[in-house]
C-alpha cells in the first residue's frame, strides 16, 4: 500500500468499518423478510452517531445495500454532510463496459474508498470467475478503490481464486464469510478462510456475526471459536471491527455486537487493539 496517501491522524481514530444507512422502500429493500420487519424503516446518520459516541468511536465506513449508482451518490452526499462518515463503499456495475464512466462520476470524491457487489445473493457460486466481473475487478486498482467480498462459505473457493488472480488489488472479506454460528459449524468454512488469508492482499471485517448466530439467544462464547480461526489466519494486522448496523439489531444492540470483538481483543497488545479498532481500517481503505 502507498502509505503516503494515508492520513496519519486518522489511523489513531476508532472506526466502525462496516455499517449501513437507508431510507426504507418496499421495492428497493425486498430482501427484508417478515422476520426482518424491524428493519423496515429509515436508518440515518443521526441514529448512528449516539451509538458511536457511547463507545468512543470517531467515525464509520458506510457500505452499500442497493445495487444502483443512485445509492452510491446518496451515501457520498451523506458523507459530505456528516464528517464522522469517513468512507463509503458504494456500488458500480463491475460487469459493465461502462464501469470507468460510472465510477468517473465520483472520481474526485475522496470518500469513495471501495465498491461491493452482493455476491452472496448470486445463484452461481462461481459468479466471481465471470469474465466481465473479473475485468471490472482489474480496473479498480487504477482507481485506487478496494473491493468488499460479501459471500457465504460455499463461495470461498471462488474468492480464493479471485484474490490470487489480482495480487495488486485490495480486498476485504465482509462478515468473516458468514459461517453457520447458530449451528456451531466450522468446517469447511475454517479451511476456506485459512486458505483465503494466505493471500496478503485481503483483510477481514469482524462484523455480521450476531445475525449468523441464534438471534437474541447467543452468548459471547459462541463466537470465540470463529474469532480464533480468523485471528490465526489473518493475524491482528489485517482485521478490523465492524458493527453491520442496523442489520445487527435483529440479534443484538449496537453496543453488545461491538463488545464481542472489543472484549475478545483485550488479550492483545495495545497497539494491535488500536489497529483492529480503527488503524487497520484507515490503512486498508486509505482514508483521507
pLDDT for 9 equals 65
pLDDT for 27 equals 87
Is residue 42 within 8 Å of residue 23, measured between CB atoms? yes
Q: Which residue, among 133, 129, 83, 147, has the nearest Cα to 110 in the 3D structure?
A: 83
**SS3 state of residue 106:** coil
147 grid coordinates: 473491493
CATH topology of domain 3-285: TIM Barrel (3.20.20)
176/239 Cα distance (integer angstroms) = 10
pLDDT for 265 equals 98
pLDDT for 279 equals 97
Is residue 111 within 8 Å of residue 79, measured between CB atoms? yes
Q: Which residue, among 117, 50, 42, 105, has the nearest Cα to 73 in the 3D structure?
A: 105
Instruction: Encode pLDDT of 263-280 as tens digits.
Output: 999 999 999 999 999 999
**SS3 state of residue 62:** strand
pTM over 0.85: yes
Which residues in the chain show pLDDT less than 70?
Answer: 1-9
For 279, half-sphere exposure in the C-beta direction (CA atoms, 13 angstrom radius) is 13
pLDDT for 46 equals 98
pLDDT for 30 equals 85
* Side-by-side strand order, sheet with 15-19: 15-19, 59-63, 85-90, 112-117, 146-149, 171-173, 202-206, 239-241
Amino acid at each position: 500500500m502507498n502509505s503516503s496517501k494515508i492520513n496519519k491522524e486518522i489511523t489513531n481514530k476508532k472506526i466502525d468499518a462496516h455499517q449501513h444507512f437507508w431510507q426504507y422502500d418496499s421495492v428497493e429493500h425486498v430482501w427484508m423478510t417478515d422476520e426482518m420487519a424491524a428493519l423496515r424503516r429509515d436508518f440515518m446518520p443521526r441514529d448512528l452517531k449516539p451509538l458511536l459516541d457511547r463507545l468512543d468511536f470517531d467515525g464509520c465506513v458506510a457500505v452499500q445495500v442497493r445495487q444502483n449508482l443512485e445509492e452510491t451518490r446518496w451515501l457520498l452526499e451523506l458523507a459530505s454532510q456528516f464528517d464522522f462518515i469517513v468512507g463509503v463503499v458504494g456500488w458500480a456495475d463491475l460487469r459493465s463496459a461502462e464501469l470507468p464512466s460510472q465510477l468517473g462520476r465520483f472520481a474526485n470524491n475522496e470518500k469513495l474508498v471501495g465498491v461491493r457487489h452482493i455476491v452472496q445473493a448470486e445463484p452461481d457460486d462461481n459468479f466471481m470467475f465471470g469474465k466481465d466481473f473479473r475485468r471490472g475487478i482489474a480496473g479498480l486498482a487504477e482507481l485506487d478503490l478496494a473491493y468488499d467480498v460479501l459471500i457465504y462459505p460455499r463461495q470461498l473457493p471462488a474468492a480464493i481464486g479471485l484474490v490470487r488472480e489480482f495480487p495488486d488489488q485490495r480486498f476485504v472479506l465482509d462478515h468473516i464469510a458468514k459461517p453457520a454460528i447458530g449451528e456451531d459449524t466450522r468446517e469447511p468454512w475454517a479451511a476456506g478462510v485459512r486458505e483465503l488469508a494466505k493471500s496478503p492482499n485481503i483483510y477481514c471485517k469482524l462484523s455480521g456475526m450476531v445475525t449468523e448466530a441464534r438471534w437474541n439467544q447467543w452468548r459471547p462464547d459462541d463466537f470465540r471459536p470463529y474469532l480464533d480461526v480468523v485471528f490465526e489466519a489473518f493475524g491482528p494486522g489485517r482485521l478490523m471491527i465492524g458493527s453491520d448496523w442496523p442489520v445487527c439489531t435483529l440479534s443484538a444492540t449496537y453496543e453488545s455486537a461491538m463488545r464481542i470483538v472489543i472484549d475478545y481483543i483485550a488479550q492483545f497488545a495495545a497497539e494491535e487493539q488500536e489497529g483492529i479498532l480503527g488503524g487497520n481500517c484507515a490503512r486498508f481503505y486509505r482514508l483521507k
